[in-house]
Chains A and B, each alone.
Chain A
Amino acid sequence: KAGVTQTPRYLIKTRGQQVTLSCSPISGHRSVSWYQQTPGQGLQFLFEYFSETQRNKGNFPGRFSGRQFSNSRSEMNVSTLELGDSALYLCASSLVGNRNTQYFGPGTRLTVL
């Protein structure tokens, strides 16, 4: 069974631009969560989607948004990029009945110049 895939793997943007990251969960997983990883901050929860609905949201500004499609694939968007948005963005999927165990993708490394 294929794992969680994220595209692109690396991205370089400049301040003020916007970016869209994509995540394809493991087949059969309908819950998708997004995290931001920065040095010293660990993984910070962004949001969780299930059945195309946002189920949970972390403490991030409205510039960060996401959505989920009917095939469970998810995208996250960051508008008006800031230097501090440079981070590794991780997507994780899980089975509905076992949200405790999340399977992570390799992440998208975003660099904002």
Chain B
Amino acid sequence: DQQVKQNSPSLSVQEGRISILNCDYTNSMFDYFLWYKKYPAEGPTFLISISSIKDKNEDGRFTVFLNKSAKHLSLHIVPSQPGDSAVYFCAARGVNTGKLIFGQGTTLQVKP
């Protein structure tokens, strides 16, 4: 039972354009959502997060949008840079359990 889903295994974008990574969840008892970035041979690194009481959070080139009615989360990267090429994981925290549930990941490739 995959409670957090990233339905696109990969995404390819031209440098300078916008990258949009999507994430869907099924459990309405999540209260906090996060995005992590992972390079090969390294552990995931925290990128940006959003509380369930908000619908948008921005940090530089990265913006996370939360649509609670659709149970959908997205990460926008503008403008995309080749160094953004990595695997991106979305994660959600259960309000009762405190556990982080991760999606399967989306591999982003930004072409120069």
- CB <8 Å contact, B99 and A56: yes
A82 to chain B minimum Cβ distance, whole angstroms, is 21
The verdict on B53 contacting chain A, using a C-beta distance below 8 Å, is no
Q: How many A residues, CB 8 Å from partner?
A: 24
B101 close to A (CB within 8 Å): yes
Q: A-facing mask of B76-100, CB < 8 A → 1, else 0?
A: 0000000000000101010001111
Contact B97 A42 (CB under 8 A): no
Task: Judge whether A99 and B102 touch: CB under 8 Å.
Answer: no
Chain B: CB-nearest residue to A6: B43
- B99–A41 contact, CB under 8 A? no
List the A side residues contacting B49 at CB < 8 Å: 100-101
A100, B105: Cα distance in complex, Å: 18
User: Is residue A44 contacting chain B, with contact meaning CB distance below 8 A?
Assistant: yes
Check B100–A102 contact: CB distance below 8 A: yes
Min Cβ gap B112→A in Å is 27
A100–B100 alpha-carbon span in the complex (Å): 8
Total number of B residues with any Cβ neighbor in A under 8 Å: 25
A66 close to chain B: CB less than 8 A? no
Give the distance to chain B from A93, nearest Cβ to Cβ, in Å: 11
How many Å from the CB of B102 to the closest CB on chain A? Answer: 4
| A4 contacts partner chain B, Cβ-Cβ < 8 Å | yes
User: Across the interface, do B43 and A107 meet the contact criterion of CB distance under 8 Å?
Assistant: yes
Nearest B residue to A92, CB-CB: B43
Complex contacts, B10 vs chain A, CB 8 Å: none
Residue of A nearest to B103 (CB): A42
A40 to B32, CA, bound (A): 23
> With A42-B105, A104-B43 given, can you name 18 additional A-B contacts, CB distance below 8 Å?
A40-B9, A41-B104, A43-B89, A43-B91, A43-B105, A44-B102, A45-B100, A45-B101, A45-B102, A56-B99, A90-B44, A99-B93, A100-B34, A100-B93, A103-B45, A104-B36, A104-B45, A107-B43
B residues at A contact (CB < 8 Å): 4, 6, 9, 32, 34, 36, 41-46, 49, 89, 91, 93, 97-105
Interface, chain A (partner B; CB < 8 A): 4, 33, 35, 40-45, 48, 55-56, 58, 90, 92, 99-107
